[in-house]
Amino acid sequence: MPTPAEQPATLLSVEHLTVEYRIAGRRVRAVDGVDLTVRAGEIVALVGESGSGKSTLAHAVLGALPRGAAILGGRIDFDGQDLTRLSERRFNRVRGRALGFIPQDPMVSLNPLHRVGRQVAEPIRIHRPVPRREADRRAVALLERVGLPDAGIRARQFPHELSGGMRQRTLIAAALTGGPKLLIADEPTTALDVTVQKVILDDLAALARAGGIAVLIITHDLAVAGDRADSIAVLRKGRIVEYGPPDDVLRRPAHPYTQLLLRSAPGLAPPRPGRRRPARPRCRRPAPPPAGPGAGGRDGTTGAARRGDRGGQGVPPARRGRRPALVPRGRRRVADRGPGRKPRPGR
Ligand SMILES: Nc1ncnc2c1ncn2[C@@H]1O[C@H](COP(=O)(O)OP(=O)(O)OP(=O)(O)O)[C@@H](O)[C@H]1O
Ligand SMILES: [Mg+2]
């Protein structure tokens, strides 16, 4: 672990970010006072149940919140500027260049009528005025770099002629065209077969590390996070409850919600010394399961959304609306679980 003096510079710093949606006169607080840091070249995984606000956080950083959503407070500092204060014109100079995005579904994100090479060459020409032939040549080189086999031939094909994994690689190539310092990948492989997912994620992580590109990867999958990220941030109902290195967060989860997430991913249940099977995590309050009935999604149907509250189930009324305090614990930070409960020293 590098000392603070050796740590790479902070590239993205999200501070106290709060985002709300307004649906039919009601407000849904999707992101509630989030602090998050991504350093240059770092891979950070954002995990949490469906409806916990992962995509909303990503869209806020990308300046791509839908109509009806508003940033109510906080800052998003990226590469030396507060993105929440940029005009659309200036934001366009950041998005797609220093800030790249890998979307979830290649079939939706690729134009079925254009050859895949062109869909990588076009953004190259948007970023820099280069002749079409040169852009085509660079597009093929990028497609090769992201591991597309026979890139020169594939570049002349249409999206439907490629496999799902090849299409996802094309989107990764398109996200690299602006020479990004940070890539945001929202569930980039969920549309793919698990074995293909693993290969593509490994390749993406290797590519990012080789190029010194930071990645904010959003995933439901704790194994994905644990295998590839330098840091994991666990989001619950718009708030980060635990944030630190995978070794700490996944092997010794400190927050009851992280423990519950791990219980739903049995292969990752934290080992306890001297026990043959992982112990059941101690959880003082009942909390909702990580997914299932009542868990929300893009349709605004979480229990919290329906009630319009901020705290969610299991949180005493007195604590609702209080900003969560992330308390340092060893190398990580964990949400304060309330009065009378002192954080244990870091392990
Ligand atoms: N366009 C929208 N309009 C209204 N509410 C929305 C919109 N998008 C998301 N929400 C609500 O905001 C909250 C956070 O949703 P978000 O999509 O950010 O969660 P998520 O963690 O990305 O979930 P998933 O894992 O299912 O993609 C949820 O309550 C959701 O219903
Ligand atoms: Mg999402």
pLDDT value for 266: 59
In the prediction, which pLDDT does 2 show?
Answer: 54
Q: Is the CB of 300 under 6 A from ligand 1?
A: yes
Q: How confident is the model at residue 267 (pLDDT cuts 50, 70, 90)?
A: low
The whole-angstrom distance between residue 229's C-alpha and the CA centroid of its chain comes to 11
- Which of 11-20, 140-149, 257-266 has the least mean pLDDT? 257-266
Tokens 């190398």 locate to 331
Distance CA 283, CA 257 (A): 8
Domains present along the chain, CATH in parentheses: 9-98+180-335 (3.40.50.300), 112-179 (no CATH)
Neighbour tally for 292: CB within 10 Å: 10
Residue 30 in this model has a pLDDT that exceeds 90:
yes
CB contact at 8 A, 58 and 186? yes
Model confidence at 36, pLDDT cuts 50, 70, 90, reads very high
Contact assessment for residue 30 and residue 237, using Cβ atoms and an 8 Å cutoff: no
Average pLDDT, the chain: 81
Tokens encoding 272:
């306890």
Which residue's CA is the nearest one to ligand 1's atom 30? 300
The top-scoring range by mean pLDDT among 190-204, 209-223, 256-270, 293-307 is: 209-223
- In Å, what is the CA distance from 343 to each residue of 272, 292, 333? 20, 31, 10
CB 234 within 8 A of CB 240: yes
Tens digit of each residue's pLDDT (9 = 90 or more) over 187-242: 988 878 888 888 989 999 999 999 999 999 999 888 889 989 999 999 999 999 99
Q: Please determine, for residue 293, whether its predicted confidence score (pLDDT) is greater than 80.
A: no
Q: How far is the CA of 344 from the centre of ligand 2 (A)?
A: 33
* DSSP assigned state of 95: B
Residue nearest to atom 27 of ligand 1 (CA): 50
Ligand 1 pocket residue status of 324, Cβ below 6 Å: no
User: CA quadruple 260, 264, 265, 268: dihedral positive or negative?
Assistant: positive
Residue of 281, 269, 341, 283 whose CA lies nearest to 314? 283
Q: Whose CA is nearest to atom 14 of ligand 1?
A: 53
Shortest-distance Cα residue to atom 28 of ligand 1: 51
Ligand 1 contact, 264 CB (< 6 A): no
Q: What is the pTM of this model?
A: 0.80
Q: Is 56 in the pocket of ligand 1 (CB under 6 A)?
A: yes
Percentage, residues of the chain above pLDDT 70: 78
Q: Does residue 231's CB lie within 6 angstroms of at least one atom of ligand 1?
A: no
The fraction of the chain above a pLDDT of 90, given in percent, is: 59
Q: Does the beta carbon of 290 lie inside 6 Å of ligand 1?
A: no
| Ligand 1 pocket: which of 20, 54, 56 to mutate (most atoms within 8 A of CB) | 56
Nearest-angstrom CA–CA distance, 38 and 57: 13
* Predicted confidence (pLDDT) per residue in 133-184, tens digit: 999 999 999 999 999 999 999 999 999 999 999 999 999 999 999 999 999 9
- Distance from the alpha carbon of residue 132 to the mean position of ligand 2, in angstroms: 35
Using a 6 Å cutoff on CB, does residue 21 contact ligand 1? yes
3-class DSSP assignment, residue 234 = strand
State if residue 302 touches ligand 1 by the CB under 6 angstroms criterion. Answer: yes
Q: Give the C-alpha distances (Å, rounded to integers) separating 263 from 35, 71, 236, 291.
A: 26, 33, 15, 12
Reply yes or no on whether the pLDDT at 111 is more than 80. Answer: yes
Indicate whether 4 pLDDT > 50: yes
Q: Of the candidates 38, 34, 15, 12, which has an alpha carbon nearest to the alpha carbon of residue 236? A: 34
